[in-house]
Amino acid sequence: MVVVFTGGTGGTKLVQGLQQVVAPEELTVIVNTGDDIEWWGLFVSPDIDSVLYGMAGLLSTERGWGVEGDSFRCLERMKRLGQAPWFSLGDLDLATHLTRTAMLRAGKPLGEATAELAAKMGIRARVLPMSDDRVSTMLDTAKDTLTFQEYFVRERHQVKVHTVRFEGAERARPAPGVLESVAAADAIVLAPSNPVTSIGPMLAVPGILDALRTAKASIAAVSPIVGGAAVSGPAGELMKMMGWPSTIAGVARAYEDFLDVLIADRADEVEASHLNSKTLRVVCTSTIMKSMDDKRALARFALDACATPQITGFAGD
C-alpha cells in the first residue's frame, strides 16, 4: 500500500500522478484539515476538496481550486446581501459543502463524510482526513491572530507571521485508518505541500509523528521548495519563521525525525549533493508538475525512491 500525506494545491498534483501509477485499492491519501473553515454556515474543507476534485477530474486547472467551469452567482448575491466578500465558493462547489455539512450535522464524523463524498465522485482510492476532530491552524501576527484562510486568502499572505499554532491538535486523534495505513504501508510519500501549514498540522496530531518514526516503509518527501523558493505561496516565508532555511535543507530539517529520501528538483542539484548523507538520501529529478505526464513521472520517481518495485509496475486503470 502507498500512503501519501498532502495539502491542497501542490500536493494534489502529486496525488493525481500517484492515481495513475498505483491501483486505487493500494492508495491511501491523508489530507490536512487545519485549513478548514466555517463559511456561510457551511463546513468547508479546502484541502480535502482540492484532493477530491483533483482525483475525480473535476478540479479547475485555471484556478487550482474549486470545480472546473464553475459559476459564482451565489457569491455575487451573497456580496449584495452584505456577506464578507473575500472567500469565494463556486455554485457547484457549494453542493459539496452543503452535502458535507448535512452529513456532519447528522452526526457523521469527517472521515465518513469524506469517504462518502469520494465514493459519490467515483474515487476508489481511500481519502482520509488527518483527524475527525477539529484542528485549526492559527497564525499570530504583530497585530492579531488569523485563521489560515484569513492569512492566505484575505491577507494574501502579505503579513508577517510570528508563530503558527495548531489549535485543538493536542486533543485531536488521528482519523480511523490513519495510523493503521501508515503502519501497513509499503511506501510513504509526503507530497510537495507546505511543510509548516499543510504537513505541520498533521504532524501535530498526537500519534502521527510517532507512526511515521516507527513505520516500516521508506518515507520520501518531494520538496515544495525549488531553487531556494516555494513554487507558489508562503512556504518559504513560513519556513524561515520556523528557523528553517527556505531551501531543500529546510525541508529536510522539517522532516528530520523520520525522512529517508528527499526528492529535490534538478535546480537544487548542488545543494542536494551536499545534503546527501548516510541518514538522508537526496535524489533529484524534475519536480515541476504542469502536465499529467509530469505528475505521473514524479509519482513513479517517488515510488522508485521508496524502492517498492512490486507497486511501480501498475499501469493505471
Q: Which is nearer to ligand GDP, 111 or 200 (CB)?
A: 200
SS3 295: helix
Does position 192 bind ligand GDP by CB under 6 A?
Answer: yes
Q: Which is nearer to ligand GDP, 217 or 235 (CB)?
A: 235
How does strand 218-222 pair with strand 261-265?
Answer: parallel
* Interaction residues for ligand GDP, span 14-73 (CB under 6 A): 35, 47
Q: Which is nearer to ligand GDP, 129 or 233 (CB)?
A: 233
For residue 220, the one-letter residue type is: A
Cα 171–172–176 angle (5° rounding)?
A: 145
3-state helix, strand, coil in the chain (%, to 5): 45, 20, 35
How does strand 136-141 pair with strand 161-167?
Answer: antiparallel
Half-sphere exposure of 68 (CA within 13 A, CB side): 10
Rounded CA separation 18/245 (Å): 29
Q: Nearest approach, Cβ of 194 to ligand GDP (angstroms)?
A: 4
Cα torsion 170, 173, 179, 182: sign: negative
Q: Nearest approach, Cβ of 149 to ligand GDP (angstroms)?
A: 11
Cβ-closest residue to ligand GDP? 10
Site stretch for ligand GDP (CB under 6 A), options 173-181, 218-226, 273-281, 305-313: 218-226
Site stretch for ligand GDP (CB under 6 A), options 9-17, 135-143, 243-251, 278-286: 9-17
Does position 194 bind ligand GDP by CB under 6 A?
Answer: yes
* Interaction residues for ligand GDP, span 260-299 (CB under 6 A): 287-289
Q: Which ranges constitute the DSSP H helices of 129-268?
A: 148-149, 178-184, 200-204, 208-214, 235-241, 248-254
Rounded CA separation 69/59 (Å): 9
Q: Nearest approach, Cβ of 81 to ligand GDP (angstroms)?
A: 28
State which of residues 44, 55, 118, 235 lies at the interface with ligand GDP (CB under 6 A): 235
Site stretch for ligand GDP (CB under 6 A), options 98-106, 163-171, 216-224, 307-315: 216-224
Q: Which ranges constitute the DSSP H helices of 122-225?
A: 148-149, 178-184, 200-204, 208-214
Does position 8 bind ligand GDP by CB under 6 A?
Answer: yes
Q: Which is nearer to ligand GDP, 66 or 233 (CB)?
A: 233
- Specify which residues 219 forms β-bridges with: 188
Q: Which is nearer to ligand GDP, 43 or 278 (CB)?
A: 43
Per residue, what are the HEC states of 9-78? HHHHHHHHHHHHHCCHHHEEEEECCCCCEEECCEEECHHHHHHHHHHHCCECCCCCCCECCCCCHHHHHH
Does position 252 bind ligand GDP by CB under 6 A?
Answer: no
Q: Nearest approach, Cβ of 289 to ligand GDP (angstroms)?
A: 4
Does position 201 bind ligand GDP by CB under 6 A?
Answer: no
Q: Which is nearer to ligand GDP, 181 or 193 (CB)?
A: 193
Cα torsion 41, 46, 50, 52: sign: negative
* Interaction residues for ligand GDP, span 131-170 (CB under 6 A): none
User: Binding residues for ligand GDP, per CB under 6 A?
Assistant: 6-11, 13, 35, 47, 191-194, 198, 222-224, 226, 230-233, 235, 287-289
